[in-house]
Chain A
Amino acid sequence: MLDAKIPAGQLNSKWEDYKGHCKLVNPANKRSLEIIIVGTGLAGASAAASLGELGYKVKAFCFQDSARRAHSIAAQGGINAAKNYQNDGDSVFRLFYDTVKGGDYRAREANVHRLAEVSANIIDQCVAQGVPFAREYGGLLSNRSFGGTQVQRTFYAAGQTGQQLLLGAYSALERQVALGNVTLYTRHEMLDIVKIDGKARGIIARDLTTGKLERHFGHAVLLCSGGYGNVFYLSTNAMGSNVTAAWKATKKGAFFGNPCFTQIHPTCIPVSGDHQSKLTLMSESLRNDGRIWVPKKQNDTRKPSDIPEDERDYYLERRYPAFGNLVPRDVASRAAKERCDAGYGVGSSKQAVYLDFAANMERYGKIEAGKRGLHNPTPDQIRQLGKEVVVEKYGNLFDMYAKITGEDPYEVPMRIYPAVHYTMGGLWVDYELMTTVPGLYALGEANFSDHGANRLGASALMQGLADGYFVIPYTIGNYLADEIRTKAIPTDHPAFVEAEKQAQETIDRLMNIKGSKSVDHFHKKLGKIMWEKCGMARNEQGLKEAIEEIKALRAEFWKDVRIPGEANELNPELEKAGRVADFLELGELMCMDALNRRESCGGHFREESQTEEGEALRDDANFSYVAAWEYKGDSAYELHKEPLVFEECKPTQRSYK
């Protein structure tokens, strides 16, 4: 039976009680306790910095050439916090409630409440670090709206919020490097977890520059390695984002939670051709000011500017008047797919809808004209003034759109379509963020815990930093307090030798296939299977087919992949091959999980389970649980269930109408 170790007591006092009673490690003992952290995104960098500050000996690893490049950097729109600076009715409870509801009642209440509680501290911490959030003229912080909420609680730095938050955490991390508390290993990739007497005691890492395998000991290991959206090949993830660390942990006994819960983000730049290597997000914050529409006529080939107002279908505003364009991501994505599938899509591929800023640019223009005392502004003046406001709010996003598509979004509406963006599933963790392997933790997107079946916008940054700055510094002490008598284990221990040997054998095996097809060839094929059969809509037959197709593709990969170059040098193809090999196993588990969950919830839409209006239909009687999968050998997984208990948020059919 899975024990989530949720503290007893009232929901709103659990975290306070926990902090008051968890075990502590004294400063002298902290100095002899070593912690390994894999990944330097928001979760990893904030954890490394905070644990270094506490005096632990930290080793942090990233595969990029600098800790600052982790993919958190690309988060655009903002970070939520229950500050209620806008006086619009926000509170810790509201943020908690919105997140549980947004996640379609598949998240753990206690974790989400803790997240909402510490959210305000994150903003304080980041401002203290010098993170330049957007401000109002009075010098105080500015907020905007995100999907799935009716308050303004999102803090932001133009369209570069992730960048600014990560640079804050990275600076704090580098400060600890300078102080000697953290040792940083860049261009290093974790290839295995080392377990001794059932506990995580270190990792095997590959120095990507020299190809050399290294053994590193730690009293505890933290995986902060992000999500697995790249299993779809095309996603908004960075090219290097991968599941390898989490997957190796799965094979060493950590359960994988809700693998089928993936988020398809509604507003991304559509695919332009087979050459496409990744998809680019257009921030959800754009839905504050952009209106989404398609023509009312099928296969309408007129230019958007030639389609009069009454021949446009603002389908989100029509279907969901209460939330309009700011419905949660899963709802917005499915609505876009529904319109395109029905023949109302736009652009050459017909797989796109319009995101139109004209109305709000005009509104802003009039407000600005008023501020400047222009009584009879010309339409051109209004346009210009409105454009200036939009430039300040979203300038970098509009520029990016223009570069990628060659179109000017200030003049014509953006064309957008849903794309894989985030994975709510991840390593199963308990309240302390520990996986089912003692001493092995998972933080941020790498764990499954806080977003249920659908994450609300601006909550990923919040969760990554909450886990790293404010949760793990407490919970890890509760474990390490019992480890103070454990001396550093020499890395010539048989467990290290064996783990390194296995990692080396996998590399040798890959290099020796000398087949005929590139790694990307297999990755693209896997992505196509996943997108078509385990993407925005899923059904039993498709999932069963996908499982067989993935098995066949995996067998072909291990027979026919071609990796040029040598293993003992910088070899990007070898790096990719290792990651794709793991995706080829994870993809199968995702389909198995999707097949098992015969209900629709959040981003997981089973066609067999929908309301008459085509909304996701949950089955709380049978599926109100976390599906945690235990690896039992090739293609064999055992399902463990963590029942979800809702004390405060009573599950109802989600309605944004």
Chain B
Amino acid sequence: MGLTLKVWRQKNTKAQGGFETYQVKDISSEMSFLEMFDVLNERLINEGKEPIAFDHDCREGICGMCSMHINGRAHGPWAGTTTCQLHMRAFKDGDTITVEPWRAEAFPVLKDLTVDRGAFDRIIEAGGYISVNTGNAVDANAIPIPKDKADAAFAAAACIGCGACVAACKNSSAMLFVSAKVSQLAQLPQGEPERATRALNMVAQMDKEGFGSCTNTGACEAECPKEISLSNIARLNREFIRAGFTYEK
């Protein structure tokens, strides 16, 4: 198939960016979206032009590195799918496709479609862990966890930290990301001792990074490639309020 691509090009964080239009042809429906970009980049290199910079690594939907905003949707048209798992079957001959980086103040553009998501790491640093040094653990089966709790914790832990939730949100809120980690740990007995400080500190760091507020419109859940549930945000709100009432310094 042949396609028209409108791709955001930006030399670096400070430079002014803009859309460039490219025509690509002989695209197979078997290709992944990123392989289609590989074809375009190979052509640009052969023409002596600079290829389009974009983040990607595992190309199997789990590392969370790929991050394209495609036709106004984070990771494109398929539900529950990262950009690298999106295949060209999703498009038809003659389509025009607009590709942008994640747009959020807390995710500055580094180059073209590549953004800096370091803010997510700093939110995890604020409390997204259980404080247990290596060697301190008891036997794994000494802590039985009801299956439904374990399954719910796993469902939240499936977050890949790609930032699609932020990109999809009109306020660039990071609530789905933060709530996934808080939910995972709040539902496990191991997470209990730090439950209150975790919620308070992670939310405080999220605000400090410049992410917007949550208004529960649910765009994050709709666009999340791992289909992390909006109910995690409800749980985070509960955890945060509970911590506010109960936590004693």
- Shortest CB-to-CB span from B182 to chain A, Å, is 11
Known: A132-B154, A178-B126, A404-B87. A124 touches B147 (CB 8 A): no
A174–B131 CA distance with the chains assembled, in angstroms = 11
A167 in contact (CB, < 8 A): yes
Cβ of B212 to closest chain A Cβ, rounded Å = 21
CA distance in complex: A133, B154 (Å): 8
The size of the chain A interface, using a CB distance under 8 A, is 82
Bound-complex Cα distance A426 to B146 (A): 42
Given A124-B140, A132-B188, decide whether A564 and B150 contact each other with a Cβ distance below 8 A. Answer: no
A105-141 interface mask toward B, CB cutoff 8 Å, 1 = contact, 0 = none?
0000000000000000101111111101111111111
In angstroms, Cα B12 to Cα A236, docked, is 32
Closest to A68 in B: B161
Contacts A69-B63, A403-B78; is A140 near B144 (CB within 8 Å)?
Answer: yes
Please tell me if A473 contacts chain B, counting CB pairs below 8 Å.
yes
Contact A53 B133 (CB under 8 A): yes
Which residue on chain B has the smallest CB distance to residue A124?
Answer: B137
Which of A85, A125, A175, A564 is in CB contact (< 8 Å) with B51? A564
Q: In this complex, what residue of A is CB-closest to B160?
A: A163
Chain B, range 25-49, C-beta contacts under 8 Å to A: 28, 30-32, 34-35, 38-39, 42, 44-46, 48-49
- A569 contacts B12, C-beta separation under 8 Å: yes
Residues of chain A from 318 to 356 with CB closer than 8 A to chain B in the complex: none
Is B184 part of the binding interface, using a Cβ–Cβ cutoff of 8 Å? yes
CB–CB A132/B59 < 8 A: no
A5 to chain B, nearest CB (A): 23
Q: How far is the CA of A127 from the CA of B144 in the complex (A)?
A: 10
Considering the complex, which residues of chain A in the window 202-259 have a beta carbon less than 8 Å from any beta carbon of chain B?
209, 236, 238-240
Tell me the residues in window 128-175 of chain B with beta carbons closer than 8 Å to chain A beta carbons: 128-141, 143-147, 150-151, 153-154, 157-158, 160-161
Chain A residue nearest to B116 in the complex (CB): A65
Given A174-B125, A277-B35, A562-B45, A85–B141 Cβ distance below 8 Å?
yes
Let me know if A277 and B120 touch, CB within 8 A: no
- Cα(A177)–Cα(B121), bound, Å: 10
A37-69 vs B, Cβ < 8 Å mask (1 yes, 0 no): 000000000100110010000000000111111
On whether the beta carbons of B116 and A135 are closer than 8 Å, the reply is no
If A69-B57, A400-B61 touch, whether A128 touches B117 (CB-CB below 8 Å) is no
Instruction: Report the Cα distance A422→B102, complex, angstroms.
Output: 33
A564's partner among B34, B48, B65, B131 (CB-CB below 8 A) is B48
In the bound complex, do residue B125 and residue A177 qualify as a contact, i.e. CB atoms below 8 Å apart?
yes
> Is A572 a contact partner of B53 (Cβ separation < 8 A)?
yes
Q: Does B69 contact A (CB under 8 A)?
A: no
Does residue A469 face the partner (Cβ distance < 8 Å to B)? yes
Establish whether residues A69 and B125, one from each chain, have CB atoms under 8 Å apart when the complex forms.
no
Interface string of A504-521 (1 = CB under 8 A from B): 000000000000101010
Q: Are B161 and A66 in contact (CB under 8 A)?
A: yes
**Residue contact A128 to B190, C-beta cutoff 8 Å:** yes
> Which chain A residues in 248-306 approach chain B with CB under 8 Å?
272-273, 275-278, 280-281
Q: Is B103 engaged at the interface, CB distance under 8 Å to the other chain?
A: no
Task: Give every chain B residue within 8 A of A140 (Cβ-Cβ).
Answer: 141, 144
- B111 contacts the other chain (CB 8 A): yes
A172 within 8 A of B: yes
Asked if B179 is at the interface of the complex by the 8 Å CB criterion, the answer is no
Q: With an 8 A cutoff between CB atoms, is A71 at the interface?
A: yes
A406: interface (CB < 8 Å)? yes
Tell me the bound Cα distance from A328 to B153 in angstroms: 33
Cα–Cα, bound, A565→B128 (Å): 38
**Which A residue's beta carbon lies closest to that of B150?**
A135
> For the complex, what is the distance from the CA of A240 to the CA of B145, rounded to whole Å?
37
> Roughly how many angstroms separate A132 CA and B124 CA in the complex, as a whole number?
17
Check B45 against A171 for contact (C-beta < 8 Å).
no
Question: Does B185 contact A275, Cβ atoms closer than 8 Å?
Answer: no
A569 touching B111, Cβ below 8 Å: yes
Does B101 reach chain A (CB closer than 8 Å)?
no
- Residues in B with CB closer than 8 Å to A276 are 35
Taking a contact as CB atoms closer than 8 A, the residue among B121, B138, B160 that contacts A67 in the complex is: B121
Q: Are A135 and B117 in contact (CB under 8 A)?
A: no
Cβ A127 vs Cβ B143 within 8 A: yes
The minimal Cβ–Cβ distance linking A515 to chain B, given in whole angstroms, is 11
Complex contact B56–A239 (CB within 8 A): yes
B-chain residues with CB within 8 Å of residue A163 when the two chains form the complex? 62, 158, 160
- In B73-108, the 8 Å CB interface with A consists of 78, 80-81, 85-87, 89
Nearest to B136 among chain A residues (CB) is: A128
Does B110 sit within 8 A of A, measured CB to CB? yes
**In the complex, which residue of chain B has the Cβ closest to the Cβ of A155?**
B140
With known contacts A140-B144, A158-B154, A470–B117 Cβ distance under 8 A: no
Residues A69 and B64 in contact, CB atoms below 8 Å apart: yes
A275 touches B35 (CB 8 A): yes
**Cβ of A164 < 8 Å from any Cβ of B?**
yes
Check: A384 CB closer than 8 A to any chain B CB: no
Which residues of B are found within 8 Å of A175, using beta-carbon distances? 125, 129, 131
B114 at the interface (CB under 8 A from A): yes
User: Does A186 touch B at the CB level, under 8 Å?
Assistant: yes
Does A73 sit at the interface, judged by CB under 8 A?
A: yes
B81 touching A74, Cβ below 8 Å: no
- Answer whether A130 and B130 are a contact pair too, CB < 8 Å, given A238-B63, A518-B42: yes
Contact with B along A355-391 (1 / 0, CB 8 A): 0000000000000000000000000000000000000
Contact (A277, B51) CB under 8 Å given A128-B136, A130-B185, A141-B140: no
Rounded to whole angstroms, the CA-CA distance of A349 and B244 in the bound complex is 62
- Are A130 and B60 neighbours in the complex by a CB distance under 8 Å? no
With A68-B64, A273-B28 known as contacts, the answer to whether A130 contacts B38 (CB < 8 A) is no
Tell me the complex Cα distance, A19–B137, Å.
19
B63 and A130 contact, CB distance less than 8 A:
no
A124 is contacted by which of B51, B89, B139 (Cβ under 8 Å)? Answer: B139
Asked if B39 and A275 sit within 8 Å, CB to CB, the answer is yes
Bound together, the chains give a CA A133 to CA B145 distance in angstroms of 10
Knowing A128-B137, A174-B125 touch, does A520 contact B131 (C-beta < 8 A)?
no
User: Contact at A399–B80, with CB atoms within 8 Å?
Assistant: yes
Contacts of A172 in B (CB 8 A): 129, 132, 134
- Cβ of A127 and Cβ of B137 under 8 Å apart? yes
The answer for the CA separation of A68 and B145 in the assembled complex, in Å, is 26
Q: Closest approach, in angstroms, between the C-beta of A155 and any C-beta of chain B?
A: 8
Interface hub of B114, B140, B141 (most chain A Cβ within 10 A): B140
17 A–B pairs (Cβ distance < 8 Å), ordered by A:
A46-B134, A53-B133, A65-B55, A66-B121, A71-B58, A74-B63, A127-B140, A127-B190, A160-B158, A171-B128, A172-B134, A175-B125, A239-B57, A275-B30, A400-B61, A403-B61, A564-B51
Top 4 closest pairs, chain A to chain B, by CB: A139-B144, A171-B129, A128-B137, A124-B137
Supply 15 further A-B pairs (C-beta < 8 A) apart from A172-B129, A275-B28.
A66-B161, A69-B57, A121-B135, A127-B137, A127-B143, A133-B150, A139-B147, A141-B141, A164-B157, A277-B32, A280-B60, A403-B87, A404-B32, A404-B87, A518-B45
